[in-house]
Structure 1
C-alpha cells in the first residue's frame, strides 16, 4: 500500500470566497492547492463566467473550470436579509474571507470588514477593489482589459485592429492579482499566528499592473525628465489629429525606448521552419550569443556612439543580418547550437503545443483532471512545489450548488431550516424547483 500524502501547508485553514470572474477565484485556487478548505459562495444564477468564457455545457465553461478547482460551491443570495444567518455562520467558521464586490455594496449587505470582524475578530479579510478605492475612478468595477489601458501596459502589444491596440491575453493582471492576494492572505495568517489578530488586506488590478509592468512603468529624474516635454507635445499633436495606435506607440518608443530597435539578444527569431527565442541579459551571455552566431556587434567597440544617424543605420543593418542568419537553419538546429554554447533558448510553442512538450509534462506543469460532466481536461499543475507539505489538486471545479446542503449541515443548519432556505430562494439555483 502506498503511504498517504502528507497534508498541505494550509491544511485546516478555512476560506470563504465571495467573488466571481478570475482574480480572487484564482487566489482561492492557489490556497486550495496548498490544502485550504475553500467554500465558494455563488449567487443563485451562478458565477457569471459559468455562462461566458467558452461555455461547454449549461452552467459549465472553460473559464470557470480553470480557476475554481479544489473548491466547494454553495448557492446563496447574500443580497436578501434572510441569508444573514448563513453569512454569519460562514464568517464564524472561516479563517479567511475573500471578497470582490463594489465597495459600496459591502456595508449595504453586511459584508464589510467591520461587520465580519464583529463576528470573528480573528478573520483575515481580503478585499479586492479593481481600480482602488480613491481617485476619480475609485470604487468603479474594472476588468483586465481596462487596467491594461489605464496602467500603460497596453503598449506592450504589437498588434492592433482598426487603429486600436488589441488587448493582451491571457489576463495577466487577473492572475497576478490572484497570486498577490494569496500571498497577502498567507502573510496575514502568519501575523494572526503571532498576535491573534485578524486584519484587512486589499488588492487591486491596477496596483498589480504597476508591479508586473514596473520595468516599463517607472520614471527617473536623471534620465527621463528631459524627455517628458517633447514627448507630451508630440503625443498631444498626434492625438488631436486622431493618430492610430501604431503611430502613437512609435512616438513613445522614439522618446523612451532608446536603442530598442537594435535588440538582438532578447527576442524571438524566425527560423527556416518555425521560431526560436533567446534570452541574454548579461555581457557574458551576450558574448556567448555572438560566439555561437558569429555576429559582430559594434556597440562593444570602443568609441561607438549611440544616438547618431550613422549608429541607427549600422544597428538597423545588424538586426536584419541576424534575422537573415536565423532563417538559414531550423529551430531544432539552432536550439542544439545555442544550448551547446550556453545560451538560454527555447522553441516557440503555440497553446496546443504545450500539452505535448516533454519539458512541461515531465515536470508536472501540465496535468490531466477528470470532470464528472465533461470528462478529462488538461491544465496547469500547482505552481508551487513543497517537500514537507506537498501541493496537489484535490478535485475538479464544483458544479453549481453542489455542496450547499453539505456545507449548511456542517454549519449547524438542520434539515427543516435548509428546506425553508431553499424553498424561499435564499439557497439553491435560480429557477430550480425545490423538493
Structure 2
C-alpha cells in the first residue's frame, strides 16, 4: 500500500525532536525520507535512554521508516553527493542554526540553483531573523518567551515544566509539516518551490488562540488561574480520596447538572454559571470536598456511565490499555532486524484508504549509505574510496 504522500522525497538534515517528528509524520503518510547524518557528530537522540535491544527507543520511534546516509558535510565530496540527490529529492528539511547550511554550501539559494522546484524548510528556535536568531534555546525557553508559560501553572507555585514538548512538536513539527505541504500544493500549481522559515517560538506564540485574541482586542492579559480554561474556574483537576486525580470539564449546563447530580449536590450546578472569581473559587472548594469522599476507582465506575465531561487522569501505561486507544489502534508493531517487533505509537491520522504498515524502526547510522550511493551510480570502488576517506560511514 502507498500512502497519500508517496510522491514526496525528502532529505532530512534534522536531529533530536522537532525535525525528526515532522519527518516521522511525513514518512508514516508514505513520503520517502532520507536522513543525512554526520558520521562524526552523532545525533544525541541515538544515545538517549531508555534502550531496547541496544538502541534508544526514542530514536527507534522518531526515525522509523527512514533511511540513513552518513555523510561528512564539511567535505566537498559530500556536497557533490547532496547535489546529485537533489535530482530526485526535491524537499529539504533542516534544523541547524541560521547560516550553518549556507556555510556548508547547502543553503536554499545554492540548492535552488540546482533544482528550482526545491522546497526548503528550516526549523529553528527563534527563526531566521530578529535579535534572537542565533541564540540557543529549548522547549522550556520558547514557552517562557512566548507568554505560554505565564498562564500555565498555579499562582502559589509558578509555571510547570510540561511532560510533552509543546513548542518543539505543536510548534516546530506540526507547523513545519503544514508549511511544507502547503508549498507542495503551490508547487503543483506554479512549478516553483520556496523557502519556509519555521520558528518554534513564533509557533508557540501563535497558540494563544483565545487569551491572545482577548488581550490584543481588549487589553485583558491572561494570568495563571485567571481564565476559564487555565484554573480560574471549576474546569480543573480534583483529587480522589486515595490520591488519584480526575479531570472536570463540565462547562455546559447539561454537563454541569450531571456532574453535580452524580456528586449528590445538584444545588451546586447553578454556581457554575457565575463568572465571578470568588464564586468559582468557592465552587472548586465544594467540588474538591465531594471528590475526596470516594476512591478513584469508584469515581471511574460512576462517570463511565455518564456524559458529563469527567474523565480520569491516566498514566501512560493506563492510557495504552484504555479501550478507546485500543479501538483507535494507537499502538503498532514495528519490525526490527534480528529482533522481535517493537511496540511504538502509531500515526494518529486516519485515512479511509489506510496507511502503509511501518517498515522498520530507526536505522543504524549510515545503514543505507552504500545503497543510496549505488542508486546514484557510484561504483563499489568509488564507495570504498569515500569510506576510506571517512566522507561516508
- The TM-score with structure 1 as length reference comes to 0.80
Alignment of 1:64 onto 2:59: yes
2:5 counterpart residue number:
10
2:238 counterpart residue number:
269
Correspondences of 1:282-301 after superposition (within 5 Å): 282-293=252-263, 294-297=266-269, 299=271
**CA deviation string 1:140-163 (max 9, x = no partner):** 333212212212223455489xx8
Alignment of 1:388 onto 2:353: yes
- The TM-score with structure 2 as length reference comes to 0.88
Aligned residues: 389
- Is 79-88 or 351-360 further displaced after alignment? 351-360
Alignment of 1:169 onto 2:163: yes
- Conservation of the 8 A alpha-carbon contact between 2:260 and 2:268: yes
Alignment partner of 2:109: what SS?
helix
Distance 2:229 2:66 in 1: 49
Distance 1:295 1:412 in 2: 78
Alignment partner of 2:325: what SS?
helix
Correspondences of 1:124-273 after superposition (within 5 Å): 124-155=119-150, 158=153, 167-176=161-170, 177-220=172-215, 223-224=218-219, 252-253=223-224, 257=227, 263-264=233-234, 266-273=235-242
In structure 1, stretches of 5+ residues that fail to align are 1-5, 229-251, 429-435
Q: CA RMSD, aligned part only?
A: 3.0
Change (3 A) 1:128 1:84: same
1:342 counterpart residue number:
307
Alignment partner of 1:296: what SS?
helix
**CA deviation string 1:363-400 (max 9, x = no partner):** 11122334336644332111111112525422211111
Distance 2:275 2:142 in 1: 38
1:317 counterpart residue number:
282
Distance 1:317 1:16 in 2: 56
Distance 1:110 1:285 in 2: 59
Change (3 A) 1:305 1:18: closer
- Conservation of the 8 A alpha-carbon contact between 1:74 and 1:407: yes
Change (3 A) 1:78 1:376: same
Residue 28 (structure 1) shift: 0.7
Residue 221 (structure 1) shift: 5.4
- Conservation of the 8 A alpha-carbon contact between 1:20 and 1:47: no
Distance 1:409 1:194 in 2: 33
Alignment partner of 1:220: what SS?
helix
In structure 2, stretches of 5+ residues that fail to align are none
Correspondences of 1:69-108 after superposition (within 5 Å): 69-108=64-103
Distance 1:259 1:122 in 2: 44
Alignment of 1:371 onto 2:336: yes
Change (3 A) 1:341 1:165: closer
